A and B are shown apart, each in its own frame.
Chain A
Amino acid sequence: MNSRYPGSLADRLQPLFSRVERPSRYLGGEWNAPDIPVESTSVVFAYPDVYEIGMSNLGLAILAEVVNAIDGASAERAYSPWLDMESEMRREGLPLFSLETKRPVASADIFGISIPHELTFTNVINLIDLAGLPIRASDRTDGPIVVGGGCGVANPEPLAACFDLFVLGEAEEVIGSLVETVRRAKSEGWDRMRLLEEAAHLSGVYRPDDYLPEYADDGTLKAVIPQRGAASSVAKNLVDLDQWLYPRRPVVPFCEAVHDRLNVELFRGCTRGCRFCQAGMIYRPVRERTAGEVVKLVDELAQSTGYDEVSLCSLSSTDYSRIADVTSRVAQICEQRRMVMSLPSLRMDANSAELASRLDRGGRGGLTFAPEAGSERLRKVINKQISESDMTEAVLCSVRAGRRRIKLYFMIGLPTETDEDVAGISKLVFRLRDAVRAEKLTPPSFNISVSTFVPKPHTPFQWCPQITREEITRKQDILKSTLRARSINLSWHDSEMSTVEGLLARGDRRLGPMVEKCWEAGARFDSWSDHFDFARWMSAAAATGIEPDFYLRRQRQPGEVLPWDHLDFGVDKAFLLAEYDKAIQAASTLDCREAECAGCGVCERLGVAPLLKGSDS
């Protein structure tokens, strides 16, 4: 078992597999797992959650494909070991290992960690520690350079001390340059400092050590001062999807992953302009893959994986410029191969529901939509441009097509929200049910999922306070008392988890010691409700002098320096502020694909344009 690799821990790990839950998480050797050359520039991509979740991450699979295509370079995978495995590994003195060769991660040249969201921060620190590396970058004198990426780098400041570098935006291109830089460093004998200095000059690479925050007496950020001649800000990277590799032979896990299907990316970016949505702001502009390429990928990947389901994914799949055409061509492939097609992220309108129903004739499954808010006014505040008649049509269309379940996502705690808006969620659901009854149809079961709004960096709501835990509970109680019917199931997010998420989302470097303290106190898998411990977070905050309300409850002033202002994701701060003003006035901003330019600034700042290539051959 991988013992041909010098330093492989395979033989020492084997006895552990009999003692832990789900040993398949740690085996490697799945279908299409790459064969790793013994001598190469080695990159380990790690995901700070358990294997079944990490394996569904498309970003890491794409980057691994890019690195493995570089001559003399190899990419391996690592995931957070579950608690039983971690305790066995620590007891036996075994470090974090890669799945492919079972070599210690510390022996790699680059240790890339995806940061998907704030509640994985303690797992990120745990990965670095389990690898046997000092958790603070300033204490590391050798070993791999630790690089962060993913959505979480929209504001990585609470973890700034742990990372040597962050990559902002899409890393397909820059990862190759980073591998090349490491290779040069090894061949020319550079020291670690020189390597990091050179790497920091690469496009989209942010070296936190090059930026020094200064705080005012009132605790707000006064300035972030670039050091050693660093630029005043770091701009994100963007790629043209058709120009870059896509995993042609994706690794197929032995166990069921959370997204247990073939994923083909239709496009990146979304300009619908929902004001709460961080992804919609930081992944701009829209860049589509050509329809022909999408169809070709589905056919190839279906053969190489053996999956029986394909998902055409994006932030809003029905916005793809030739969605009807591409889905009908993919449907033919599915027919031949006995596969089903799914379209996640549907807009809640009749066209989307009709399309989904056409794809799955006679489907008895459910459809999921995200109206987000219960009242028309609040939907205008968040720029979710769906009318109630759109929603009614979507539900009627789904029911007529035989759907028995409709899942609806809502949020509470949105800016300007009143109790009437919260109660509006219940009223809306009942009106949708009644509309179905009025057509003499059997109403579907409605699964209503209510999450708590957490203001995120780089969005128009980045200045807003977050509602308190007590408010969250009170608003949830309104729904619990009003949304009562046999065919309606209500679920909601834990208010304490939303509070910690909010604290970290807009945190600065002063939160770093708090996260470390919490990890030292045993925090792991904070995004798993049964492992999340709010009291542990609060005592870590108290022990490190953090006042959570300063980050959670404070209305930031328009001129205030924000901890992520020096990280340029393309959207102008002035545009975000204008959008915030429009939100307060409940005014809409149209999608630039359908109307004139909204002036977000991405195209000008990054020298790009939307690529609506769906119609290209």
Chain B
Amino acid sequence: MGAPVGALRLRVQFAKQGQARFLSHSEFSRTLMISARRAGLPLEYAGAKMARMKISLSPPLPIGITSDGELVDFNLTGYVPAAEACALLEKAMPEGITPVRCRLMGADTKPVGRVIDTAVFTATFPASVGGGELADAVERFCEMSTLPYERVQPRRTRTVDIRGGVHDLQVLSAGAEGRVSLKMTVDDGIAGTIKPWEVVEVVAGLAGISREVWQEAEVNRAGLFARRGDRLVSPMDIGARRSGAAGGPRGVRY
């Protein structure tokens, strides 16, 4: 981490697995900030005293859901090779949170929180759920043009069109363990959020699967994306700093 080269953004993709899935969004954010400090990255802060670390996070992940692709931007004050940052972060992270990929971005790149609008989730059901009954339910779900869903939140209850927020829904054939999965591409981020459990609840309802059974499903956020027409683009591939990731100016580290 050498001579200051102006503001840089380090975009990191994390896997959040194991017991780390029980961390709330604010706990996850705190975990990332403490880990980044422990890693010794040249972090940028806002404000002179009681400074706040400048970071941008992907949309909140509900407690209990694992993820292969949580995304975070750390603003840096100096250069550090992406691979080195990845290694330092890996050492500083607690069990269950692993940096998968790091990439340096230009200072003018939009923060990750303002790019993401879509997420892909998988929900793997207990072995007692058959693929046939789920496939029929998915077909009926996709045929609908709207599907009102009553979202109950601590302070208000409102009705959302869950169908409008689901862009793709597929049943994945049973894997080695004989468990069938639902793969869903849903709004998540700046365009609004459809929660995976809401889709699971509605589809399971259409398939006649009881609450006790569908609540046993294991949900995973497989990826976060920005929609470009019909394409899903990973924020890891948007606005990467060409020279930085490859080498960039090197000087005295840390």
The CA of A23 and the CA of B63, in the complex, are separated in Å by 9
* Contact of A308 with B37 at beta-carbon distance under 8 Å, contacts A17-B64, A360-B49 already known: yes
Chain A residues whose C-beta falls within 8 Å of the C-beta of B56 in the assembled complex: none
Which residues between 381 and 411 of chain A lie within 8 Å of chain B, taking CB atoms?
Answer: none
Chain A residues whose C-beta falls within 8 Å of the C-beta of B26 in the assembled complex: 255-256
Chain A residues whose C-beta falls within 8 Å of the C-beta of B92 in the assembled complex: 306
Are the C-beta atoms of B23 and A254 separated by less than 8 Å? yes
Are the C-beta atoms of A338 and B51 separated by less than 8 Å? yes
Which residues between 27 and 86 of chain A lie within 8 Å of chain B, taking CB atoms?
Answer: 27, 29-31
Are the C-beta atoms of A362 and B34 separated by less than 8 Å? no
The CA of A252 and the CA of B18, in the complex, are separated in Å by 19
Which residues between 28 and 55 of chain B lie within 8 Å of chain A, taking CB atoms?
Answer: 30-31, 34-35, 37-38, 43, 45, 48-51
B22 at the interface (CB under 8 A from A): yes
Chain A residues whose C-beta falls within 8 Å of the C-beta of B94 in the assembled complex: 29-31, 254
Which of A252, A306, A338, A361 has the most B CB atoms < 10 Å from its CB? A306
Contact residue among A24, A306, A308 (Cβ-Cβ distance under 8 Å from B22) = A24
B19 at the interface (CB under 8 A from A): yes
Chain B residues whose C-beta falls within 8 Å of the C-beta of A362 in the assembled complex: 48-49
The CA of A365 and the CA of B51, in the complex, are separated in Å by 12
* Contact of A31 with B18 at beta-carbon distance under 8 Å, contacts A23-B63, A363-B49 already known: no
B243 at the interface (CB under 8 A from A): no
Are the C-beta atoms of A22 and B50 separated by less than 8 Å? no
Query: How many residues on the B side are at the interface (Cβ–Cβ under 8 A)?
Result: 25
Chain B residues whose C-beta falls within 8 Å of the C-beta of A363 in the assembled complex: 49-50
Are the C-beta atoms of B35 and A22 separated by less than 8 Å? no
Which of B23, B37, B51, B92 has the most A CB atoms < 10 Å from its CB? B37
Chain A residues whose C-beta falls within 8 Å of the C-beta of B63 in the assembled complex: 18, 23
A307 at the interface (CB under 8 A from B): yes
Q: How many A-B residue pairs have CB under 8 A?
A: 63
The CA of A306 and the CA of B19, in the complex, are separated in Å by 21
A428 at the interface (CB under 8 A from B): no
The CA of A365 and the CA of B48, in the complex, are separated in Å by 13
The CA of A248 and the CA of B34, in the complex, are separated in Å by 17
Are the C-beta atoms of A306 and B34 separated by less than 8 Å? yes
A324 at the interface (CB under 8 A from B): no
Are the C-beta atoms of B34 and A307 separated by less than 8 Å? yes
* Contact of A27 with B19 at beta-carbon distance under 8 Å, contacts A255-B27, A306-B34 already known: yes
Which of A252, A256, A307, A361 has the most B CB atoms < 10 Å from its CB? A252
A212 at the interface (CB under 8 A from B): no
How big is chain A's contact interface, by range? Answer: 20 to 34
Are the C-beta atoms of B35 and A24 separated by less than 8 Å? no
What is the distance, in angstroms, from B70's C-beta to the closest C-beta of chain A? 15
A574 at the interface (CB under 8 A from B): no
Q: Per-position contact with B for A291-326: 1 when CB-CB < 8 Å, else 0?
A: 000000000000101111000000000000000000
Contact residue among B19, B23, B35, B51 (Cβ-Cβ distance under 8 Å from A1) = B19
B96 at the interface (CB under 8 A from A): yes
Chain B residues whose C-beta falls within 8 Å of the C-beta of A31 in the assembled complex: 34, 38, 94
A611 at the interface (CB under 8 A from B): no
Chain B residues whose C-beta falls within 8 Å of the C-beta of A30 in the assembled complex: 94
Chain A residues whose C-beta falls within 8 Å of the C-beta of B23 in the assembled complex: 24, 254
Chain B residues whose C-beta falls within 8 Å of the C-beta of A307 in the assembled complex: 34, 37
The CA of A255 and the CA of B34, in the complex, are separated in Å by 11
The CA of A592 and the CA of B34, in the complex, are separated in Å by 43
A340 at the interface (CB under 8 A from B): yes
The CA of A303 and the CA of B18, in the complex, are separated in Å by 26
What is the distance, in angstroms, from B220's C-beta to the closest C-beta of chain A? 14
The CA of A308 and the CA of B37, in the complex, are separated in Å by 8
Residue of A nearest to B216 (CB): A15
Are the C-beta atoms of B95 and A17 separated by less than 8 Å? no
What is the distance, in angstroms, from B37's C-beta to the closest C-beta of chain A? 4
What is the distance, in angstroms, from B48's C-beta to the closest C-beta of chain A? 7
What is the distance, in angstroms, from A255's C-beta to the closest C-beta of chain B? 5
User: 18 interchain pairs (CB within 8 A)?
Assistant: A17-B19, A18-B22, A18-B63, A23-B22, A27-B22, A29-B94, A31-B38, A31-B94, A254-B30, A254-B31, A305-B38, A306-B34, A307-B37, A308-B51, A340-B50, A360-B49, A362-B48, A364-B49
- Closest 8 pairs between A and B when the two form their complex, measured CB to CB: A306-B38, A23-B22, A306-B37, A306-B34, A18-B64, A254-B27, A17-B22, A27-B19
Binding site for B on A (CB under 8 A): 1, 17-18, 22-24, 27, 29-31, 252, 254-256, 303, 305-308, 338, 340, 360-365
Question: Given A22-B24, A306-B35, A360-B49, 20 other A-B contacts at CB below 8 A?
Answer: A1-B18, A17-B64, A23-B22, A24-B24, A27-B22, A29-B96, A252-B34, A254-B23, A254-B30, A254-B94, A255-B26, A255-B27, A256-B26, A307-B34, A308-B37, A308-B51, A338-B45, A340-B49, A361-B49, A362-B48
